[in-house]
Amino acid sequence: MQQEMQLLMLIIRLIKLGDRVNKGLAGAAAMAGLEFMDIGINQATVAAAVGGYRGTHAVAVGVQAAPTEKHKSQCKSFYDSRKPFRKLCTLLEHHIDSTGDNFKFKLISKV
């Protein structure tokens, strides 16, 4: 009886692990779908995308800004659709963020 219970608990843990993997892959697909347009100085863009994996879906949103000619920043985040969007705390429990900065500069070479 105890072995059967342990086996049942192991199966439940594996199902939960598979669910988390599916959420992560759906989110990665959604974030991969975010494409930002080329922007100039003091401009910003907003992007949104949907991704899915094995019946799990996620929504990704992102924003990009270029405050100067040589600096561009972006932020992306995804939210899975398995949990209801009823509570903000539930929404924030199941998300992944990504932030990046780009800097442009010239290399000086001595000949």
Q: CA–CA separation, 73 vs 108, rounded Å?
A: 25
> Residue range 53-64: average pLDDT?
84
pLDDT, residue 95, reads 63
Q: CA–CA separation, 101 vs 111, rounded Å?
A: 31
Band (88; pLDDT cuts 50, 70, 90): very low
Helix and strand numbers (H, E) in the chain are: 2, 4
pLDDT, residue 47, reads 87
Token reading at 77: 């985040």
Please give the helix or strand (H or E) that residue 92 lies within, else none: helix 88-93
Band (87; pLDDT cuts 50, 70, 90): very low
> Residue range 17-26: average pLDDT?
82
> Residue range 100-109: average pLDDT?
73
pLDDT, residue 86, reads 45
pTM passes above 0.75 = no
Q: Residue 80 in contact with residue 53, Cβ under 8 Å?
A: no
pLDDT, residue 77, reads 81
